Each structure stands twice: as structure tokens, then as C-alpha cells.
Structure 1
Amino acid sequence: MSGLQVFDADALVRVEHDWPRDAPACRALQTELTRHVVFEDRLGPVRTIGGVDIGFEDQGRITRAAVVVLDARTLTVVDQALARVPTRMPYIPGLLSFREVPGALAALSQLAHPPDLLHVDGHGIAHPRRLGVATHLGLVSGLPTLGVAKKRLTGHHEPLPDEYGAWVSLIDRGETVGAVLRSRVGVKPIFISGGHGIGLETAIASTRSALTGYKLPATTRAADRLASDRG
């Protein structure tokens, strides 16, 4: 793939690549990128966790990307950044990361210190080509990532008990790609998947550690507020 460079750091693989704008080229790049995804834990001590969320302004012409960094123990905000960049692609199903990740990278670059782990609003490997927003962002940033999504994109699962903390596997084409987690009783579940450099069990545990009584963990909930300009 022209324009693709792979850097094998001590902790985690990172890639740099050109950013195509047409769907066939994006899909071809997805196929190449999935070869470099790390599906197991490559985490050091997790003292800070980040939340990433993307919004849009000016009828979608401007991407508004937010990242909020929390202390992993207390869940207090220790840093945050907001970046506005021109939206480079329209929404195309399955190619959301090519629309959102450039803005997320711009926001991450504004932080004084990057978080030890990123919770990304969206899917990780729970994606038809195993390259959701969280996975793509992890690959190009070199940070461990996981996806926290509000809706299922692919796969199927068994019925989920209406009990706080309950979860069932999300299965796609015979492969476990994530978990369906009951983060709050009486509301629809969230969908957790590894992004890059983290296994599913650790992704579930990290998400649960950031729950504070709301449907979404404190990480992506704080980023959503910043990206949506709601405080």
C-alpha cells in the first residue's frame, strides 16, 4: 500500500499512511491496516484514561474532535483538548474512521501528556473489516484503545440479563469481536471491543471501572459533552 509506514515500537505497533478519499481506496487500506492490529494487552501501568468523541459543526463541514483525560483512580479530569478541522469525507457506512480519526489526532496532539489508554466513542474490531474508529485511531496514534459504542454494527449475541455489569459475547462470523455490556439496569446496553493493544477482558474491566451510574463510562461521556459543547 503506497504511503504506508509501520513503526514497531517497544510497546505497540504504530502506522502512518496517506488518507484516501474514495471508498475503494479506503477499503483497500483497511485490509492492509488490519494486518498490524494487536489483539492482546500491550499496556503499561494505566494511571490515566482518555475519552474520545467526535461532533460536527457548520452543517458537517467542520469536524469537532474532543479528548478528555481522567485520572484512572478518581475519574477526575486532568487534561482536555478540542480540535476543529475541515471534514475530509462524507459519511460512508463502514468507513467512519476515515472521516473522524484525523480530527481525533489533532485533538490528541494538543494534550500535554497522552493518556495511558483511550476509550473511543465507536467500535474497535467489532466492525465488518475489523477496523472501526477505535482500532484505526490506535494504529495511527500508537496508543492502546478500546471501543465503546451505543449501537451494534455487526455480529449477534445471546439475550443479555437486565443486571448491572452483565455481559455476553458479541460474535461475528464465528469470531468473538466484542462484548455486549449492561452498564445500567433498564437501559439499552453498550458494545465494547478491543481497539489496538488490548484484549477483550481488559477492555471490559476498564470500561466497568469508569462507570458512574450512567449508561456511558465517565471517559466517553465527558468527551461527548465537550465535543457537543454541552459544558
Structure 2
Amino acid sequence: MKIYKRHSWDLSLDEAVAIQEKLQAEVITQDQFKEPIKYVAGVDMGFEDDGRISRAAVAVLSFPDLELRDTSIVKRPTSFPYIPGFLSFREIPALLDALEKITITPDIIFCDGQGIAHPRRFGIACHLGLFVDLPTVGVAKSLFVGKHEELPQTRGSWQPLIYEAETVGAVLRTRDGVKPVYVSSGHRISLTTAIDYVLRCTPQYRLPETTRVADRLASSTKD
């Protein structure tokens, strides 16, 4: 997979803020990809040695049957502290290393985190999307910013996620009566299309199959 280096990773917090504010202008929240989609990927992180080692995992699944086709796991020293709102600076360096090793380039990448549902509209899905120039979607397990109306209990129900008078994502029910997920555009995909693909990649459980497989890889103690 081709990686487009946008900046270095040896950064202060002020420099990280400046990068978020600068690159956010390049984020595209409209559909800019060709269908049919043949492969979807999930990326996730685990940490070892009290957080000093990052363990990045990529899982590539065929679509729409969601069969595992390719994986990659990479470890590297963690170079940025855990600070809410700056997850991408901690996780993306290792994720890029893992993405470089896969043999199948996915058509869409699902991130375990936020897209534009972020104080500066630049969560990890946006940041990663600019580095790989592929459609990316943020599928977070918890609310970070914004408010929404009450959500029906049925699968497929969703409500706009509103932050500072702007729709930044959606709260989406992927299973009847189960906690929702928080979907937002990362790069080169619209919110409604992102919701559609999240549901199509979530046939049985709360989280997309891409995320579930990547999470197992990132959390495993066996390579």
C-alpha cells in the first residue's frame, strides 16, 4: 500500500494541534471512490510493556461476504503520550507500518475511533485517510463530542450527532437493543454512505467484522 507522508511524528502538543488545524481543510466528506467495493479493512491497536510498545493490526476482509483475506501485525516503540483528542499521533505511526505490509489494498478502512466527530474535526480516521488517500470511516464505541436525540432500539436506526450546530456524525444502532456505535466520515466518504457500509459490515455483532478481527489481532499475545 502506498503511504503519503504528510509530516513527521516528532511533535510537541502545540505542533500537533497546528497539524490538525491545517490538514483538516483537506478532509473530503463526500463520496470519492468507485464501486463495487471488493475489500474492506479494519485497523486497531494494542499496547505492551505498560504502553511503551505499540502493537498495530490490520485485517482485510472480502466484501460483501466478509471473509478474512489478509492480515498484518507490527510492533514499534510508542512515541506520543495518550491525550484525548490526539489519538492519531499515538497510533498512526504503527498503523502505517502495518498497512505497508498487507498485500491487498482495501477499498475502505474502518477505524476504531473518530472521524470528523472531533473538536477540530480531525480524528484518527481523517488523519489516516490523508496518509493513505483511501476512504476511511470512524466507528467509535463511545461518544466523544456532540449530542443526539433519543435513538430507537431497532437495528439500523440512527440519529445525527450534532456538535457546535454542525452534524459531525451519527449514533447508529447495529443490533436490536444493544448499545449504539458512533459513526463519522474520515476521508473520501459521506456520512450516509459510511452508515450504509458500517451496517453491511455488521451482520451479527455490535461492531463491524473488520474491527472485531483487527481487535483480536491487536490484543493477542501470539503473533
Q: Is the 8 A contact 2:172 2:182 kept in 1?
A: yes
Alignment equivalent of 2:210, drawn from 207, 210, 219: 219
Count of residues in Structure 1 that have an aligned counterpart in Structure 2: 218
TM-score (norm 1): 0.91
In 1, Cα distance between equivalents of 2:28 and 2:159: 22
Q: How does 1:2-151 map to 2 (within 5 A)?
A: 16-45=6-35, 46-151=37-142
Compute the displacement of 1:49 (Å): 0.2
Q: Which residue of 2 aligns with 1:205?
A: 196
Letter in 2 for 1:27: V
Stretches of 4+ moved more than 3 A in 1?
none
Alignment RMSD? 1.2
Q: What does the per-residue CA deviation read over 1:105-140, in whole Å, with 9 as the maximum and x for residues that have no partner?
A: 011000012101101110001001011111100011
Q: Is the 8 A contact 1:20 1:26 kept in 2?
A: no
In 1, Cα distance between equivalents of 2:56 and 2:105: 15
TM-score (norm 2): 0.95
Letter in 1 for 2:56: A
In 1, Cα distance between equivalents of 2:91 and 2:129: 13
Gapped regions of structure 2 (runs ≥ 5): none
Q: Which residue of 2 aligns with 1:156?
A: 147
Q: What does the per-residue CA deviation read over 1:35-86, in whole Å, with 9 as the maximum and x for residues that have no partner?
A: 1111101112211000111111111011111110000111000101011111
Letter in 1 for 2:81: P
Indicate the percent of aligned positions where both proteins have the same amino acid.
49
Letter in 2 for 1:30: Q
Q: What does the per-residue CA deviation read over 1:143-201, in whole Å, with 9 as the maximum and x for residues that have no partner?
A: 11000000011010000011111000001111111110011222211000000000001
